[in-house]
Amino acid sequence: MPGNLIGERFVTMSFGESHGTCIGTVIDGCPPGLALTESDIQKELDKRKPGQSVITTQRKEADKVSIISGLFNNLTTGAPICMIIWNKDSDSRSYESVKTIPRPGHSDFTSLVKYGGFSDYRGSGRFSGRLTATFVMAGAVSQKLLHDVLGIETIAYTKQIGDICIDDIQLDVAREIRYTNDTRCPNNEFAKKMSESILEARRGGDSLGGVVEAVTLGVPVGLGEPIFSSLESDLSKALFSIPAVKAVEFGSGFRGCAMLGSKNNDTFYKDQNKIMTRTNNSGGILGGLSNGMPLVIRVGFKPAASILKPQRTLNLDTGDEVELSVSGRHDPCVVPRAVPVVESMVSLVLADHAIRSGHIPAVLKS
Ligand SMILES: Cc1cc2nc3c(=O)[nH]c(=O)nc-3n(C[C@H](O)[C@H](O)[C@H](O)COP(=O)(O)O)c2cc1C
């Protein structure tokens, strides 16, 4: 099962299964000299962990991280950094049926065929949203690296749940409040409405999707490599690696496709010594390279596949169509828990490119 590595110079591997012994990550290529403790990682993991509110899965996991290599005196050494979380609260009973009766919208059918029935299907195995905890562990290191060396910060938040969408977002407010409500929305009134709509969907045995928006500040000009490692290519790959992601948009995105060039072009001006653009329809990327403006990315999540409402599917043993109602503990909407995951994936890509372009040195200064 290859495909578990991402990055060229800041390389991250994700390992483990949802109901296996543990999940974890190995980072190869983090420069020596970065101040790092388990609490730096735990702080980010706590934003994603399950069972924190009525609108997420009720699986209870503390998601307590252990850093088992790559640190000495709370500084990175340059050696691989391995981090793990032990799985504590797995209940595999409701997954026996997925071997023969695949859930519509989930990975049961494709993984069964591809891996000849050998893959671990318990709790969706490698395809579970639980694996995004491994992305967040690695993401926390890249976020700290980008922040400490270059002052780069990524702020993601829930922009849309179902058909409830917030357009007027103040970044300073988003920075302060997004993790203080259950939906991770930058506006408490909208957060309440979003939360109610998730609960209503769950009461009806259904689920909702939505959009996470990420804004990255402080990116220098020139991150990204033409052509196949353009910043958009690498960010898209990383973001599409998050389960349930079905769309990634930069800047004016699909809206820009309907605009005139004269409206979509961002005109340049000089503010003191910095070259800026008056608008940011490009989302901070021109020619696959960062242009010094904030990166603006929207990530679209589909409604969670596992729902109580009965749906038609196939019994693969008999070939008969049957009705399936998915019980067990599931997120009625994955978007709130995906917000720190989006921040992590953006940061992993930026750290990799910042090292590749020499913006982050091979050894950090003490
Ligand atoms: C944080 C997070 C939590 C998730 N929780 C669930 C869940 O409880 N139930 C579910 O059916 N899908 C959940 N998913 C999505 C599935 O893992 C995903 O839809 C599935 O692996 C199929 O992949 P695809 O949707 O990318 O095609 C979650 C995704 C994320 C990011």
Name residues whose C-beta falls within 8 Å of residue 165's C-beta, 6 or more positions apart in sequence. 159, 211
Residue 271 reports pLDDT greater than 80: yes
Count of domains in the chain? 1
Tell me the C-alpha distance between 49 and 315, whole Å.
33
Query: Per-residue pLDDT tens for 8-28?
Result: 999 999 999 999 999 999 999
Span of 46-50, 195-199, 337-341, 362-366 with lowest mean pLDDT = 362-366
**pLDDT at 334 (0 to 100):** 97
User: What is the per-residue pLDDT for 258?
Assistant: 98
C-beta of 130 in contact with ligand 1 (< 6 A): no
Q: What's the whole-model pTM score?
A: 0.98
Identify the band that residue 168 occupies on the pLDDT scale cut at 50, 70 and 90: very high
Which atom of ligand 1 is least distant from the CA of 338?
A: 1
Centre a 10 Å sphere on the Cβ of residue 187 and count the other Cβ atoms it contains: 21
134 Cβ neighbours under 8 A, 6+ residues apart: 14, 15, 16, 23, 24, 25
Confidence (pLDDT) at 8: 98
Judge if the beta carbon of residue 338 lies within 6 A of ligand 1.
Answer: yes
Share the mean pLDDT of the chain. 96
Question: Cβ(235)–Cβ(253) under 8 Å?
Answer: no
pLDDT of amino acid 276: 98
In a domain, 9, yes or no: yes
Question: Does pLDDT of 4 surpass 80?
Answer: yes
Angle at 110 between CA 104 and CA 116, to 5 degrees: 135
CATH number of the domain within which 11 lies: 3.60.150.10
Q: What is the pLDDT at residue 170?
A: 96
- Most distant CA pair in the chain, distance: 72
The confidence score (pLDDT) of residue 90 equals: 85
Segment 234-255 mean pLDDT: 98
**pLDDT above 80 for 228:** yes
Atom of ligand 1 nearest to the CA of 48: 1
Q: Is the pLDDT of residue 1 over 80?
A: no
pLDDT tens-digit series, residues 62-112:
999 999 999 999 999 999 999 999 999 888 888 888 889 999 999 999 999
Per-residue pLDDT, averaged over 110-135, amounts to 95
Share of the chain above pLDDT 90, in %: 92
334 close to ligand 1 (CB < 6 Angstrom): yes
With respect to residue 162, please indicate whether it lies within any of the assigned structural domains. yes
Find the mean pLDDT for residues 148-173. Answer: 98
Q: Measure the CA–CA gap between 86 and 359, rounded to whole angstroms.
A: 35
- Model confidence over 171-193: pLDDT tens digits? 999 999 999 999 999 999 999 99
Could you give the percent of the chain with pLDDT greater than 70?
Answer: 100
The amino acid present at 349, given as its one-letter code, is V
**Four-CA torsion 115, 118, 120, 125, nearest 10 degrees:** 0
Assess whether the C-beta atom of 128 lies below 6 angstroms from ligand 1: yes
pLDDT in tens, 196-220: 999 999 999 999 999 999 999 999 9
Question: Which of 124, 134, 245 has the most ligand 1 atoms within 8 A of CB, as the residue to mutate?
Answer: 124
Q: What is the pLDDT of residue 350?
A: 98
Domain membership of residue 362 (yes or no) is: no
CB 106 less than 6 A from any atom of ligand 1? yes
- Asked if residue 361 is part of any domain, the answer here is no
> Smallest Cα–Cα separation from 331: which of 150, 192, 128?
128
Q: For residue 169, give its domain range.
A: 5-356
The residue-averaged pLDDT of 315-330 equals: 94
Does 364 map to a domain?
A: no
- On whether residue 296 sits in a domain, the answer given is yes
Centre of ligand 1 to C-alpha 124, Å, is: 9
Decide: 235 in ligand 1 pocket, CB within 6 A: no
How far apart are the CA of 77 and the centre of ligand 1, in A? Answer: 35
Name the band, by pLDDT with cuts 50, 70 and 90, for residue 52: confident
Q: Does residue 366 carry a pLDDT above 90?
A: no
Residue 59: predicted pLDDT: 84
Rounded average pLDDT over 290-319 = 97
What is the whole-number distance in angstroms between the Cα of residue 301 and the centre of ligand 1?
Answer: 9
Burial of residue 189 (number of CB atoms within 10 Å: 0-12, 13-18, 19+): exposed
Q: Is 272 exposed, middle or buried (0-12, 13-18, 19+ CB in 10 A)?
A: exposed
- Residue 243 alpha carbon to ligand 1 centre in Å: 5
Rounded Cα–Cα distance for residues 55 and 195 (Å): 7
pLDDT at site 185: 98
Closest CA to 231 of 58, 354, 70: 354
- In a domain, residue 363? The reply is no
CA 206 to ligand 1 center in whole angstroms: 14
Q: Evaluate whether residue 290 is within a structural domain.
A: yes
